[in-house]
Amino acid sequence: MPPPNAAGPRLLVADQVAGSIRVLSLPDGRETGRIEGRFLAEHAGFLALPGGRTAFVDDLAGELLVLDPYGPDGGGPLVTATAPVATPAEHLAADPSGRLLAVTTGLGQNEEAWSDLLTVVDLGHPHRPRAARVRTRAGEPGVTLPGPAGAAEDGALVVLRHREPGSLTAYRHADLLAAAPSAPPAAPAHELPLPDHDGHGDAHDPSTGLTFAAAGSGVHRVRRAGSSLLAEEPLSWGGPGRGYFLRLDPVRRMLWSCVRGGPADPGRWPEWTNDAWWHRLDPATGPAAARTGRVPLGPGLVFRLAVTARHAAFARVHPDGDELVLVSAPPGETPRVSGRIPLPAMDGAPRAGGTPWDGVQRRAIAGSPGGGLVAVTRGGHGEIQLVDAARAETVATLRTPTPLDEGGHLALVFPGDGAEFDPVGR
């Protein structure tokens, strides 16, 4: 847990190209901790754990690391636990307790799926964390870990979201952890079909027990029943396009995504349309009774988003100028755009005619459900814009000694912010 006198937020800054992790105090940007020679698996991202801890995978070392961003403030270590995992890490998730984790493998720098390895971890195992590897199915699987449903002896499930063929496949975490050495094949406890090829995005709500998987046909919902999964009616995207990211908002009890539409040609990405898609997890109250809707953000590239105490924040990249778009969603009101903050241009930014993700600079974004700050990187420049979402203005530009090529990756932590109620790596 953070020491009592460490009331301020901390920003974790990963440069996955240069191989470093830094902890900065906010808003001044003072470095309070650092580890070198660590290469964050950017797609798996950072995972919030109880007690203000954060986990990530070092893709080069094949190791899961757990960080305490406030540890160095009291003379303690920054790295509090490690466990071996299979890489390249594609997705990372925890059960609601934050003790049990799972890491899936993806393509890495390869054109076709080749790895079928899944790693499960028990951070609370006696003496030291325990990890086991099993074989499942090659692909780019997403992962969630629904906790016990009913009797506690049911234990956590590991639910993989596969693309080809599409499915949600459930395994008992305890069975996987007890696997023999040498990565044996694992038999699933249950499987549900999903549409083929287009799954992308996962979320789990510990409060309702629902697991969500984004696909072109909508957001598919399943509820755990023992070791089985029961399908519920999918949520619609509410118009053309589909979401490529899915995030649980523990403050407003909502799901967020960005629905992308427009031409299929990646070279025409400046013409892509982007809408913030939202869904209230609990019954709506007040004058705005709708539970699902969309908010236009503007053309270009919008992907990941950040959640703050009062806003959802989206970084939009476009040849005419980049910006941070703030969407407010007060209780009982329909979400709306409440601010647009220009962001400084990036040398090496995506250009029309080329893809917006190959050999170009990008932006990472982070926020905390416990505060109002948003951090956005300026890839290739070693800069981070710090924005006060309530005032819709930039309050500081933080600089790092490495360039943050490909945008780097961020996590923003407030003590006791409840970020662990979204138990999927971001």
Q: Which amino acid is at 51?
A: G
Structure tokens at 253: 């009890």
| DSSP secondary structure letters along 339-387 | EEEEE---TT---TTS-SSSSS----EEE-TTSSEEEEEETTTTEEEEE
Percentage of the chain lying above the pLDDT 90 cut: 88
Each residue's pLDDT tens digit, 15-64:
999 999 999 999 999 999 999 999 999 999 999 999 999 999 999 999 99
Contact indicator for 376, 363 with CB cutoff of 8 Å: yes
Given this model, what pLDDT does residue 2 score? 42
Given this model, what pLDDT does residue 198 score? 76
Q: Which of these, 7, 74, 79, 66, lies nearest to 36 by C-alpha position?
A: 79
pLDDT at 151 over 50: no
- What does the angle CA 424 – CA 416 – CA 54 come to, to the nearest 5 degrees? 40
Percentage of the chain lying above the pLDDT 70 cut: 95
Residues 320 and 98: their CA atoms lie apart, in Å, by 42
Residues 309 and 293: their CA atoms lie apart, in Å, by 20
Domain ranges of the chain: 1-29+236-426
In what side-by-side order are the strands of the sheet with 157-163? Answer: 142-144, 157-163, 166-172, 190-193
Contact indicator for 144, 199 with CB cutoff of 8 Å: no
pLDDT at 342 over 70: yes
Given this model, what pLDDT does residue 288 score? 59
Residues 246 and 277: their CA atoms lie apart, in Å, by 9
